[in-house]
Amino acid sequence: MKTWFTSLKGAITLSFAALLIELFRGFLDFALIYPKQFKGMEFIAAVFYTIVFGIWAASLIAARGNSRVGLMAAFGVGLLFWLGLDWATTLPIICPDGCATIWFNIAAGVGLVIGAFGLVALGLQIRRKPAASTRR
């Protein structure tokens, strides 16, 4: 298990799982939060979410090919969601009444755990030395 966690495949798998959890969380936001708190801004939020999720997915695809930039981008977007949505949901002052359903707490709890594992695994991949190039 340790070798899978410290491998590139494990890091990408955990980060992809975190992406799916945050995508679910995004659907919850659009269904329950944005229509009440941000009327008329749903389209702008949808464009923003699409761009950010697209960057995250593209960075994971690039990371599959051993791209350090892809690893760093996946780490940055994952950290943004981990701090911005998952931790913010657990703080009662950020979401006092809008996150009243149990699904927000489940998504935030699972996102905190899986996201943390994904960020640590990506961080280990970023930290390791790149393989020596065979081209001269």
The residue range of the domain holding 119 is 2-127
Tally Cβ neighbours within 10 Å of residue 71: 25
Residue 133 lies in a domain: no
pLDDT of residue 35: 81
Alpha-carbon distance 30 to 129, whole Å? Answer: 41
Task: Profile the chain (136 residues) by mean pLDDT over runs of 10 residues.
Answer: 85 95 89 81 90 96 92 94 82 64 84 94 86 48
Residue 135 lies in a domain: no
pLDDT of residue 90: 73
State the pTM of this model: 0.85
Residue 106 lies in a domain: yes
Residue 132 lies in a domain: no
Alpha-carbon distance 66 to 130, whole Å? Answer: 8
Residue 134 lies in a domain: no
Alpha-carbon distance 51 to 54, whole Å? Answer: 5
Number of domains in the chain: 1
